[in-house]
Amino acid sequence: MKISKEELTFSILSSDDDLSGFSCCEKDLEGFLKYDALDSQKNRISVTHLVYWDKILVGFYTLISDSIEVRGIQEDDGIRGYPYSRYPALKIARLATDDRFKKRNIGKNMLLKILVTAINLSHHVGCRILTVDVKPGSFGFYEKYGFTRTIRKQSDSIPMYRDFHRALIEQS
């Protein structure tokens, strides 16, 4: 059964949250949530958002500020006359769904919430691009939602981006 966005509750991680029931096949993501996310947040490195369904922790995502090299994006995605070497961006540093809730639209709904956050942020600071470094197994998920591989390749992850401003212009 798919879970709609309206059925989910989003909150920012706090020391009061019980994370013990969250289980993810990507143990580095689970470990980050349980052991590192709160400290990272307290040090203003990142902010982790928890996603609940029926009071059950079903997913989380972590956001950080970022930038992307102009020469790293597809040529037709460039901003004409942009004088700097990097575009401002918001990075999805981590995103995970509890294994028990895979294939139920949790990931899609988290991406929608992140997009809304990015659009709201762009009203206050320069930001028009979402970035993410994905593991090869997650490439198709992000591609399905409009992310494009950057021209430059990193080590064991695949850097991707989505110009949400362009998508907003094309929809209006």
CATH number at residue 167: 3.40.630.30
- 3-state DSSP of 23-81: CCCCHHHHHHHHHHHHHHHHCCCCEEEEEEECCEEEEEEEEEEEEEEHHHCCHHHCCCC
* Spatial distance between the Cα atoms of 22 and 34, rounded to a whole number of angstroms: 9
pLDDT recorded at residue 132? 96
Structural domain of 23: 5-171
- Phi, psi angle pair for 15, to nearest 5°: -70, -15
Asked if 160 and 142 count as a contact pair (C-beta separation under 8 A), the reply is yes
pLDDT recorded at residue 171? 61
pLDDT recorded at residue 147? 94
- Phi, psi angle pair for 17, to nearest 5°: -75, 135
pLDDT recorded at residue 156? 79
* Spatial distance between the Cα atoms of 73 and 148, rounded to a whole number of angstroms: 8
pLDDT in tens, the chain (172 residues): 899 999 999 999 999 999 999 999 999 999 999 999 999 999 999 999 999 999 999 999 999 999 998 888 876 666 777 888 898 999 999 999 999 999 999 999 999 999 999 999 999 998 989 999 998 889 999 999 999 998 766 667 899 999 887 766 666 5
pLDDT recorded at residue 154? 63
Cα 104 from chain centroid (whole Å): 18
Work out how many domains the chain is built from and give that number.
1
pLDDT recorded at residue 136? 87
